[in-house]
Structure 1
Amino acid sequence: MSTETNDRATNDRATNEPATNEPATRSEPVLSRRETLVRALRNASYEILPFKKTEAAVLEHVPQDVPLTVTTTEAKGLGPTVDLAVRLSRHGYQAAPHLAARLVRDDAHLADLVAELREADVRSVFVIGGDAAEPAGTFPDALSLLQRLDEIGHPFSTVGVGGYPEGHGHISDDLIEKALEQKAPHATQVITQLCFDADTTVSWARTIQARGVGLPVRVGIPGAVSRQKLVRITAGIGLGQSARFLKKQQSMLWRFFLPGGYSPNRLIRRLTPSFGEPHSNLAGFHVFTFNELEKTQTWRKEWLARLEAS
């Protein structure tokens, strides 16, 4: 049996059989678990990169009811990110640009960005600090930008902030979690960085809720991306940006270069029991597509078909 076939068989068991630590007579949580997973997959959001062919690929392969986030890079600046979000919004998509605080020059620049996005009916943003070594202006971090957005009248109905189940490469765990606590009142959801250990993600989600962060958490997972595609993507985002990306995503990369690569199914299967739990706030998936949109959409549809047929 192939690895993929075995994954599917195991997944089917995971969504139909009671967990071994639950009484056999309690059938309702099993049904709720499957229904919760179906909802999480149906409501999954996709992360895309603002390359030349991205818009056409989205129009061809992604349904309009799939929320999108558009990444930004220090090398290319905010322009391509905002431009793509605007164009996709005009096509009927909910497209949230990554607003990197360290790339926003001042209040006037922010006002221009907000006006451009609101004119195109962009209602969602994902606010990050960004990787620029030095801030371009008056916003050194995500919190300062979030606070300013509040001060100018909450122009966006959905505001995402980042979560770090495995910590941050340059910031201590305590500081990064305190920063999340400070950002939470200004946000509507948390989107996590990639983490391949389900237990780590679940433990982190419970910890932040215990610390008062009650926002819904979208779990960042890799889509159906090939190792060849990953190499092309990292080569295309600029040398400095690629180096930082590779450094931050080492736990992902070595899995891609093992024989047979990896399957996102394994991670989803291990996360499944914790969706719907009252102490984790896991609310959905955020799929890092690396612009492998056709494969990612096909993979998600196949998952949903199996779950809904069971």
Structure 2
Amino acid sequence: MESVSTASPLVTLLEDFSLEMTGKDLAKLEEARDLIPPGTRINVTFLGNEDLRMRLAAARAVLRYGFVPVPHISARRLGSQAALEEFLAALQADGITENVFVVGGDPAQSHGPYDDSLSVIRTGLLQEYGVRHIGVSGYPEGHPAIAEPLLWSALEGKSAALTEQRLPGTIITQFGFDVDPVVSWIEAVRARGVDLPIRIGVPGPAGVRRLMTFAARFGVGTSTAIAKKYGLSLTNLMGTAGPDRFIRTLARAYDPRRHGEVKLHFYTFGGLRATSEWIAEFRKEN
């Protein structure tokens, strides 16, 4: 594991946070850029309603504004090896290929030769096109379409592949509303010998209805008890909620000696400015 900060757990978690945006969020990035610390890592999605031009434009803007672009590569959305190489070559030509996040992606069936993120990593093509750091996914509450033993096997396989290829990596988790399974999962990751730094997925401030919609889509637990702990009101779906309770609870549970390097990754759900404002205010208060 990488070196562990001696600062308070809350400060440590909030250092070097990362953000996520879609290819359609260019105008929103422009609105938020003055609130985002220089050098912040910003992941750029690889969704079905985006194309190569949109993804590249978003990643270029992230770099142009002084941040670190982390383009996503969705394995099952790639129709061929040629499509993967076209994307990597375009990233390399723009100088934005150093960091990528490789994920299986939403399609139930592969559009081409890659069934999962590990199959992309094992091609060796990422390094050939200048990739120097690879993010992979983690699921503290499991995955609605993948059995838990397969999730663990995949994570261990990705960690081993990165070690074999001498590439540093990071695990970025799905967001959630309950700290308990997150901490248990981190401990299980470490117990399995996986020492990659971890970025815990956190929802940016958003309307309760919107948060519930995304939670249902990704299989995230939203029982009444969990909602109450997080600060969500299931009887007032018109309200809004931020992750302050979640982050403070995580900070109290976080032990760098046992859990290694842990940071936060904010899913902005299109609200880049709202999330950036919230983070800036929260850091100021803490």
Q: TM-score, length-normalised on structure 1? A: 0.76
Structure 1: which amino acid aligns with 2:101?
A: F
Q: Check if 1:54 corresponds to 2:28.
A: yes
Structure 2: which amino acid aligns with 1:306?
A: E
- Pick the aligned partner of 1:127 from 99, 102, 105: 102
| Deviation for aligned residue 1:302 | 2.0
Q: Structure 1 residues 56-65 or 112-121, which shifts more?
A: 56-65
For the 8 Å contact 1:67–1:93, the answer to whether it is kept is yes
Q: State the distance in 2 between where 1:133 and 1:294 align.
A: 33
Secondary structure (helix, strand or coil) at the match of 1:135 reads: coil
Are the structure 2 counterparts of residues 93 and 257 from structure 1 closer, same or farther at C-alpha, using a change threshold of 3 Å?
same
Structure 2: which amino acid aligns with 1:194?
A: F
Q: Check if 1:63 corresponds to 2:42.
A: no
Q: Check if 1:248 corresponds to 2:203.
A: no
**Cα deviations by residue, 1:259-298 (Å, 9 ceiling, x for unpaired):** 3543311101110034343222342000111122222222
- Pick the aligned partner of 1:291 from 270, 273, 279: 270
Q: State the distance in 1 between where 2:196 and 2:125 align.
A: 17
Secondary structure (helix, strand or coil) at the match of 2:257 reads: coil
Are the structure 2 counterparts of residues 250 and 212 from structure 1 closer, same or farther at C-alpha, using a change threshold of 3 Å?
closer
- Pick the aligned partner of 2:172 from 191, 202, 208: 191
* Residue 302 (structure 1) aligns with: 281
| Deviation for aligned residue 1:151 | 6.9
* Residue 165 (structure 2) aligns with: none
| Deviation for aligned residue 1:211 | 0.9
Q: Check if 1:91 corresponds to 2:65.
A: yes
Q: State the distance in 2 between where 1:136 and 1:78 align.
A: 16
For the 8 Å contact 1:89–1:95, the answer to whether it is kept is yes
Q: State the distance in 2 between where 1:165 and 1:250 align.
A: 9
For the 8 Å contact 2:187–2:258, the answer to whether it is kept is yes
Q: TM-score, length-normalised on structure 2? A: 0.82
Secondary structure (helix, strand or coil) at the match of 1:183 reads: helix
Are the structure 2 counterparts of residues 91 and 47 from structure 1 closer, same or farther at C-alpha, using a change threshold of 3 Å?
same
Equivalent pairs counted in the alignment come to: 265
Identity of aligned pairs, percent?
30
What is the root-mean-square deviation in Å for CA atoms of aligned residues?
2.7
Q: State the distance in 1 between where 2:52 and 2:144 align.
A: 23
Are the structure 2 counterparts of residues 253 and 66 from structure 1 closer, same or farther at C-alpha, using a change threshold of 3 Å?
farther
Secondary structure (helix, strand or coil) at the match of 1:176 reads: helix
Unmatched tracts of structure 1, length 5 or more: 1-30, 235-241
* Residue 40 (structure 1) aligns with: 13
| Deviation for aligned residue 1:62 | 2.7
Q: State the distance in 2 between where 1:78 and 1:164 align.
A: 27
Q: Check if 1:113 corresponds to 2:83.
A: no
For the 8 Å contact 1:276–1:282, the answer to whether it is kept is no
Structure 2: which amino acid aligns with 1:103?
A: R
Q: State the distance in 1 between where 2:223 and 2:64 align.
A: 35
Q: Check if 1:215 corresponds to 2:160.
A: no
Q: Check if 1:162 corresponds to 2:141.
A: no
| Deviation for aligned residue 1:167 | 0.4
- Which protein shows a greater Rg? 1
Are the structure 2 counterparts of residues 151 and 291 from structure 1 closer, same or farther at C-alpha, using a change threshold of 3 Å?
closer
Q: Structure 1 residues 112-121 or 82-91, which shifts more?
A: 82-91
Structure 2: which amino acid aligns with 1:99?
A: I
For the 8 Å contact 2:19–2:268, the answer to whether it is kept is yes
Q: State the distance in 2 between where 1:120 and 1:270 align.
A: 40
- Pick the aligned partner of 1:146 from 113, 121, 133: 121
| Deviation for aligned residue 1:43 | 0.7
Secondary structure (helix, strand or coil) at the match of 1:110 reads: helix
Q: State the distance in 2 between where 1:154 and 1:207 align.
A: 33
Unmatched tracts of structure 2, length 5 or more: 163-167
